C-alpha cells in the first residue's frame, strides 16, 4: 500500500482528482487530495496575500497534522511550483519519498509563473506584486475564464459531459500565486522525481526542463487535463512509476 498526496492545477481543486482517487483507493492505496487556499471549495479564502508560500504551507500542514510519512507527492500543472517548497520545509522532512510531476510547471528558484510561461514580463510582474503588497490591484488572475475560453477553441480529450463537469467547477487563481517569485526551485529536490508528459499541451518547455534535470520522462498521449480525461491511463502510469522504486 502506498500513500499518495495529489496536488491540483491552476483554477482547479482537490476535486479534479476524483476519478484517479477512486481508482487508487480501489487498489488499496491511501489517498489525500488537498485543495490550496483560494481554490475550489476554498475559493472564498482568495485574497491579495495568497501566494506560493501559502500553498506550500497548506500542503506541509496536511503532511504534518495527518502525520503522513513515506508519501508519493503527485503534482499537476501549477502545483509543480508548490512541490519544491514543500520538500524544503523542515516540517515535511522525511514525509515524502518520491515526487511525480504530472505535466506540471518546473520552476527554478527566483522565477515567476506568468513570466516563465510567457504571459507577462518580469518588470510588469514585479510592479504587480508591489501593487498587491499595497493592498491594491486584482485579487484573481482570471485563469478559470481563460481555460473555459481555450476549451471552446480546443476541446479537451474527454467525453463532453466530463469536460462540462471540469469547466463548470473551475475557480479563479490568486493573482499573487501567478505573479510572485518562487522561492524554492525544482533543482533543489533531493528525492526521486519522475515526469509524466502529455502530448497535447502548452508544457513542452517543461518537458525539456525535466530531461535537463535528469528526471525520467514518461509520455502520455492525452492533453493537459489527462487526470480528468484519462484517469485510468494516468493511474496506470503513476502505479508503474511507484512500482519501480
- Would the pTM count as exceeding 0.85? yes
Predicted pLDDT at 119: 84
Predicted pLDDT at 245: 56
Predicted pLDDT at 120: 83
Predicted pLDDT at 244: 78
Domains along the sequence of the chain with CATH: 3-243 (3.40.50.1820)
* Alpha-carbon span 41 to 38, nearest angstrom: 8
* Alpha-carbon span 132 to 112, nearest angstrom: 15
Q: Which residues of the chain have pLDDT under 70?
A: 245
Amino acid at each position: 500500500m502506498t500513500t499518495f498526496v495529489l496536488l491540483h492545477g491552476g483554477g482547479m481543486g482537490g476535486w479534479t482528482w476524483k476519478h484517479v482517487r477512486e481508482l487508487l483507493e480501489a487498489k488499496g492505496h491511501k489517498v489525500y487530495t488537498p485543495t490550496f487556499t483560494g481554490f475550489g471549495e476554498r475559493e472564498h479564502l482568495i485574497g491579495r496575500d495568497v501566494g506560493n508560500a501559502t500553498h506550500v504551507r497548506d500542503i506541509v500542514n496536511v503532511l504534518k497534522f495527518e502525520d503522513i510519512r513515506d508519501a508519493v507527492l503527485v503534482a499537476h500543472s501549477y502545483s509543480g511550483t508548490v512541490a519544491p517548497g514543500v520538500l524544503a520545509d523542515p516540517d515535511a522532512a522525511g514525509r515524502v519519498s518520491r515526487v511525480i510531476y504530472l505535466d506540471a510547471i518546473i520552476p527554478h528558484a527566483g522565477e515567476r509563473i506568468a513570466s516563465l510561461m510567457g504571459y507577462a514580463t518580469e518588470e510588469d510582474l514585479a510592479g504587480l506584486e508591489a501593487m498587491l503588497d499595497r493592498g491594491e490591484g486584482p485579487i484573481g488572475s482570471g485563469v478559470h475564464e481563460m481555460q473555459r475560453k481555450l476549451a471552446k477553441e480546443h476541446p479537451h480529450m474527454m467525453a463532453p459531459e466530463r469536460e462540462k463537469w471540469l469547466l463548470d467547477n473551475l475557480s479563479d487563481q490568486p493573482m499573487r500565486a501567478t505573479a510572485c517569485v518562487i522561492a524554492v526551485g525544482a533543482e533543489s529536490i533531493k528525492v526521486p522525481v519522475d515526469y509524466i508528459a502529455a502530448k497535447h499541451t502548452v508544457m513542452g518547455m517543461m518537458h525539456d526542463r525535466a530531461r535537463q534535470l535528469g528526471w525520467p520522462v514518461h509520455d502520455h498521449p492525452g492533453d493537459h487535463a489527462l487526470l480528468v480525461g484519462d484517469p485510468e491511463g494516468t493511474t496506470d502510469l503513476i502505479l508503474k512509476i511507484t512500482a519501480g522504486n
